[in-house]
Chains A and B, each alone.
Chain A
Amino acid sequence: MSGGSGVIEVDHLTKVFSGRKAVDEISFTVQKGEILGFLGPNGAGKTTTMRILTCYMPATAGTARVAGYDVFEESIEVRRRIGYMPESPPLYPEMTVDSYLHFVAKIKGAPSAQRKSMVDDVMEKCAVSDVRNRIIGKLSKGYKQRVGLAQSLLNNPEVLILDEPTIGLDPKQIFEVRSLIKALAGDHTVILSTHILPEVSMTCNRVVIINNGKVVAMDTPTGLTNQMKGAEKIALSVDGPMSAVVDKLKSVQGVISVKVEGEENGGPTNYTVECNLRTDLRRVLAQEIVSQGWGLLELRGVSMSLEDVFINLVTQE
């Protein structure tokens, strides 16, 4: 897709499960040091894409390269360079946090001389040092999640692939994990999946929105919201008979719905008009209202939150 300089290059990736396309010709590139947010409703194909990138399962068609290596042909090379945190943290409940992390460090090929400092370091980063000698099975969900995250950071991988890393954490921990992920970018390239929208706008440089296995949008979080700013929702304040105003607004082509904000009180009333994607009706609406002799007191485009963009995109078809 691009010139081939990305750390992660996904090219027309397709995965078919018994006749159903879970991932359908997805292509994207992630540059070094970037945090890419993978956004989509449940079952959109996020986890499947991540599993292909981590060499857990092969693709049906298309190619993916991580750090310059093909995930299928050079799987071991790819695995040496990734840290992966699956949806449910892959923990051995009977082990202590300390011995678990040492085990993972070992199978990731960390040199034995550095293993201890490496384990201490990730425990510090993920704030699990205080439970290092506890049995994993007895830990709370939040701790388990962070031990799972700690595991993915071991051996300082070039690429981090995190499948819903903040699930099950309390707000304070979510904040900490997000800052941790932000701090990791630069040295590491991160892909994280989530269906929590603010998470994307807070942590990611770029967003890929997927739905039904297809990429429906790809941009920066602000780009995505700006792209449609003022177009879809328009707030109006009109001094005029309410029902007539509503009827008039509804009759304008491209208007989907008109919502009255507040009560009829004789004075000016606030309306929110929703219109078709990527059409700007501000000029038309203003003309219509003025031509009726009503007072147009206010008219402005309402910028959509990422949430609105998301809902729009995934419910479009």
Chain B
Amino acid sequence: MKNILAIWQREMKSYFVSPIAYVVLTVFLFIAGMFFYGALSYVVQSTMMQAAYGQGAPPADVPGIVSRQFFGTLSVVLLFMIPMLTMGLFAEEKKRGTIELLLTTPVGNFQAMMGKYLASLTFLLLMLLASGVTISALFVYGQPDWKPILGGYLGLILYGAALLAFGLFISTLTENQIVACVIMFGIILVLWLISLLTAGAQGMLRDVLNYLSVIDHLDDFIKGVIDTTNVTFYLTFAFFGLFLTYRSLESLRWKS
């Protein structure tokens, strides 16, 4: 436990002395804010039009629509940010030779892995926490339902945890951060767009492909429904990523 904490601490510090943390945070918050504003002004405009023409429709759930849009945007932006958070975790250690330090001190592979994984997860939490400032505007000017918002955040955390574990694994495969980043992008894009492939597929294959689409499992969370199927999906995904990371670290010894 002490070792995990030591690795976690070092990793957090190194996030914040490199420009990566600031760039990722800034871009993430900028895009989140921009789309939040876009969604809000669109919805407000259309409700005003509706009111002006007086078609007698029930009043739209403005905060609900905005928050759904907002979480949808965040999930896509995260797809692009997560490779940045994980690319260096092991690749950089390999490049600098510090992996030789880690693997010859009493720190086990598991502890090294967990320290790094938890650091990337902590950074993700910070990003999501910062984005909360934007969405809290809804609470200032209205009474949104808090369930979809909480659900959305829980979903994003699980979704991030799954992708981070995979990014960590990719980072053990190379000593080049850029290579790690590009491979992770590739994997993420496939998992994201996999539902497009389902159009031509049938039966079992279609179900499997649909199930694998990482982003589709978020929909229920954003609606405020916490379904154990989706929770299990993300947790399994994260566990699998960590398992691969662990195995890959073990094999480093034999390959180097």
Contacts and interface: CB of A to CB of B under 8 A. Distances in A.
Interface of A: 51, 54-58, 76, 79-80, 82, 84, 86, 88-95, 99, 103-104, 106-109, 151
A90 B101 CA distance: 6
Interface string B223-234: 000000000000
Contacts of A90: 96-101
Contacts of B256: 51, 56-57
A94 B6 contact: no
A113 B104 CA distance: 23
Main secondary structure, interface of A, reads loop
Which residue, B18, B99, B100, has most C-beta atoms of chain A within 10 A? B100
A77 to B, nearest CB: 9
B10 interface: yes
Contact of B13 (A95, A104, A151): A95
29 contacts: A51-B256, A54-B104, A55-B104, A56-B100, A57-B256, A58-B253, A76-B106, A79-B104, A79-B106, A84-B101, A86-B101, A90-B99, A90-B101, A91-B96, A92-B10, A92-B98, A94-B13, A94-B14, A94-B17, A95-B10, A103-B10, A106-B2, A106-B6, A107-B3, A107-B7, A107-B107, A108-B105, A109-B106, A151-B101
B105 A104 contact: yes
Which residue, B3, B14, B104, has most C-beta atoms of chain A within 10 A? B104
A76 B107 CA distance: 8
Interface in B82-125: 96-108
B141 interface: no
Interface in B3-26: 3, 6-7, 9-10, 13-14, 17-18
A122 to B, nearest CB: 15
Contacts, number: 72
Interface residues of B, number: 26
A94 B19 CA distance: 12
B53 interface: no
Which residue, A55, A58, A79, A106, has most C-beta atoms of chain B within 10 A? A106
A106 B14 CA distance: 17
Given A57-B256, A103-B10, A106-B2, A93 B96 contact: yes
Closest 3 pairs (CB-CB, A-B): A90-B101, A106-B6, A90-B98
B160 to A, nearest CB: 25
B249 to A, nearest CB: 13
Contacts of A58: 253-254
Contacts of B106: 76, 79-80, 107-109
A107 B96 contact: no
B116 to A, nearest CB: 13
A99 B16 CA distance: 15
Contacts of B107: 107
B54 to A, nearest CB: 63
A57 B103 CA distance: 9
A74 to B, nearest CB: 12
B11 to A, nearest CB: 10
Contacts of A86: 97, 100-101
Contacts of A103: 6, 9-10
Nearest to A87: B97
B194 to A, nearest CB: 37
A104 B101 contact: yes
A157 to B, nearest CB: 10
A56 B97 contact: no
Contact of A82 (B3, B18, B103, B104): B104
Contacts of B14: 92, 94-95
B97 A107 contact: no
B97 to A, nearest CB: 5
A57 B96 contact: no
B108 A57 contact: no
Contacts of A92: 10, 14, 96, 98
Nearest to A53: B104
A56 B10 contact: no
B254 A107 contact: no
Interface in B210-256: 253-254, 256
Nearest to A109: B106
